[in-house]
Amino acid sequence: MIVNVTARHFKMWPELHDAVVEAANKFPRFYEGITRTDAILSEEYGKFVEFTIHVDGHVFHGEDTAVDFDKSIHQASDKIVAQLRKLKDKTKSHHATDISEFL
């Protein structure tokens, strides 16, 4: 999985970059097949974090603005995790078929 991190209108410190990459690396635990994760951080109107992930032809988006970046990263990643869980449930229920119905 490729992780791209972009800081808009400020210079990102290494600990912040590591925190974003760590959050992004947790996404595959909830759904396999993630090809790319883009993270955009901004300090223009508060501490803004935006995740965009590409999964098997789908694009998911989660963003949040909070008082500090740690809280924004956590809340934005929670939004992505919820979408990944929903996709996993849909694909699991779509492919799950009781074979005894056909016998």
Cβ-based neighbour number of residue 59 at 10 Å: 10
> Could you say which DSSP state residue 101 is in?
G
Distance CA 51, CA 38 (A): 6
Contact 77, 61 (CB under 8 A): no
Supply the pLDDT for residue 90.
Answer: 87
Q: What's this model's pTM, rounded to 2 decimal places?
A: 0.85
Beta partners for residue 62, in sequence order: 51
pLDDT for 28 equals 94
The DSSP call for residue 28 is G
Give yes or no for a contact between 81 and 55, defined as CB atoms under 8 angstroms apart.
no
Residue-by-residue pLDDT tens, the chain, 103 positions? 899 999 999 999 999 999 999 999 999 999 988 999 999 999 988 999 999 999 988 999 999 999 999 999 999 999 999 999 999 998 887 665 555 555 5
Structural domains of the chain, ranges and CATH numbers in brackets: 2-91 (3.30.160.100)
